[in-house]
Amino acid sequence: MRIMTKINVWKAGSAIFLMLFVCTLVSLEISEQLLVEVNVTQGREINDLEFALPMSSLQGDGKTVYCIEKQKGVFRDEYVVKEENVSVIRVELEDIIIIGDSFYTNDGVRPFVICATSYPINKGDIVEVSSRKIGTEAEEKEYLEEQIRSQKKILLVGIPIAVICLFLLYKVWTCCVKVHEKQWKFVVKVIGYFFLFVVIFLVYGSFLDLPREILVHV
Amino acid sequence: MSRKDSVFLKIFLISLAIIVISPIVHMIWMSFGAEGDFSFQAYYRVFLTEPGYLVKFWRSLLLSTLIALGQTLLSCITAFAFKNYKMRGTKVILCIMVLFMILPIQVTLLPNYLLLNYLNLLNTWWTLLLPNIFAPFGAVWLTFILMTIPKEYIEAASLDGAGVVTVLCRIVVPMIKAPLVTLFLISFVDSWNMVEQPITFLQEARSYPLSVFLVIMNEQNVTTQSVCGMLCLIPVTLLFFYYHEEFVDGIADAFALH
């Protein structure tokens, strides 16, 4: 009796820890996918009191810009969006604004200002500084569609996974057919196969780059 | 016991069980959404989108396992030394260890901090591992347990040619298996729930184990706190279910000493 209890606890514990391990890997993958890509700039110095920033960095109210601040994350440093007030002196050309000397950090260094984002952001969001040039909304949509089309290569991995899922479905069907077994054993087997289904779909789904809208609105 | 007494006893025990279990039930209820909004949003956030919680869970699990294993191993060796080797000052050392065992943890925080600062170990895992692995409780308790074992077993093994390690591993450890498991469980639970030492010795908040993180988490985020609380329950519950018979035997052995 003691050994049977230990075996059952061992099986349950192994299943729980395996699930937690899979969830850890999946959450690391999803948190990467949820990061909004941004382009940053420190601006161009005109003189000691004035320097220039792109017009796109100015927020709708005309008084604030978004900057990034480095903070320590789970495994590496990450960038958090913070809001800074600026005083616009004048506008030169269509895409440059000139701001005064009020815009410095406590260390006397100009912060990195966000001038383009792949998705709307708010204060406190964690973002990823991207080296690729982020375009207009239409260009970003086309880029996203291109990313999704490139996932077709990963869909090939779905073939062996589909075979495994069909095998598990067959086992569930066999369990259902064997109704002469004790009911609780049947329920335990079906729960076990359902658990395997969930694990397989979680692992497979984490390899796909799902659109941000799906991840945010689940 | 009369029937009336047994009914009152049952009512009393059921009431006690309800009082003990109700915080856990409340926590499970709150994890599905506060103020009546039923949703799995908190579970989705903790298990799938924000990896910080699960990473802290694994870190805490590794830390607690190392502390429990280290303390059990060292306590076993120390207790065997106290049992087997009689030399001048053994009783004095044992009395000092009992005194240190009685001291509350808060009293030893400052001396430990100064020592670890001198050793340049602050803000590393060694600040949590070393003081807990070398805790005196396990050594003192196992020493008293080993005093109940007749020396003839050890002498007979030595006469048959067994060395010190063989006597310890093949003779002594199987005889004190239940108290060893109990010590492992107690030190695991103690290190899993520790709060003061990480706050004092670790300077970066991201290095805190899950127990501390639960305390400093935003109080408005009750659902996420509840899910993390349930996460904290998993290892301890599984360990208890796996070792509950050895745990009961170990506690019974401890009371049998008296």
* B52 at interface of A, judged by CB pairs closer than 8 A: yes
Q: How many CB pairs below 8 Å do chains A and B form together?
A: 48
A30 to chain B: which residues are within 8 Å by CB? Answer: 48-49
pLDDT confidence band for B70 (50 / 70 / 90): very high
Give the tens place of pLDDT for each residue, A167-216.
777 777 776 666 555 566 667 777 777 777 777 777 676 666 666 665 55
B234 to chain A: which residues are within 8 Å by CB? Answer: 16, 20
- Read off the pLDDT of each residue in A136-162 and give the average, rounded to a whole number: 67
Q: What is the pLDDT of residue B69?
A: 95
Do residues B97 and B139 make contact, with C-beta atoms less than 8 angstroms apart? yes
How many beta carbons lie within 10 A of that of residue A199, not counting itself? 17
B58 to chain A: which residues are within 8 Å by CB? Answer: 24
Q: Which of A6, A27, A74 sits opposite B47 (nearest CB)?
A: A27
Sign of the four-CA dihedral B68, B74, B75, B77: positive
Look up the ipTM and state it: 0.83
Of the candidates B178, B155, B167, B187, the one whose C-alpha atom is nearest the C-alpha of residue B74 is B187
SS3 assignment, position B125: coil
Of the candidates A62, A61, A56, the one whose C-alpha atom is nearest the C-alpha of residue A89 is A62
Does residue B41 or residue B77 have the better pLDDT?
A: B77
What six digits make up the tokens of B33? 């959404």
A6 to chain B: which residues are within 8 Å by CB? Answer: 242
Whether residue A23 and residue B242 make contact (CB cut-off 8 A), yes or no, is no
Does residue A208 or residue B139 have the better pLDDT?
A: B139
Of the candidates A145, A138, A161, A154, the one whose C-alpha atom is nearest the C-alpha of residue A207 is A154
Single-letter amino acid code for the residue at B161: G
Query: What is the rounded distance in angstroms from the CA atom of residue B74 to the CA atom of residue A179?
Result: 54
Residues 6+ apart with CB under 8 A from A85: A63, A64, A102
Asked whether the whole model's pTM tops 0.80, one would answer: no
SS3 assignment, position B234: helix
* Distance between B166 CA and the closest CA of chain A, angstroms: 27
SS3 assignment, position B134: coil
| Among chain A residues, CA nearest to B243 | A6
- For tokens 């607690």, the residue is B64
Does residue A109 or residue A211 have the better pLDDT?
A: A109
Q: Which of B49, B234, B242 sits opposite A31 (nearest CB)?
A: B49
Whether residue B242 and residue A6 make contact (CB cut-off 8 A), yes or no, is yes
* A205 at interface of B, judged by CB pairs closer than 8 A: no
In this structure, the dihedral spanned by the alpha carbons of residues B241, B252, B132 and B97, taken in order and rounded to 10 degrees, is 180
- For tokens 């990195």, the residue is A112
By the 10 Å C-beta count (0-12 exposed, 13-18 middle, 19+ buried), B115 is classed as: middle
* Distance between B227 CA and the closest CA of chain A, angstroms: 13
Of the candidates A8, A32, A36, A25, the one whose C-alpha atom is nearest the C-alpha of residue A140 is A36
Q: What is the pLDDT of residue A102?
A: 59
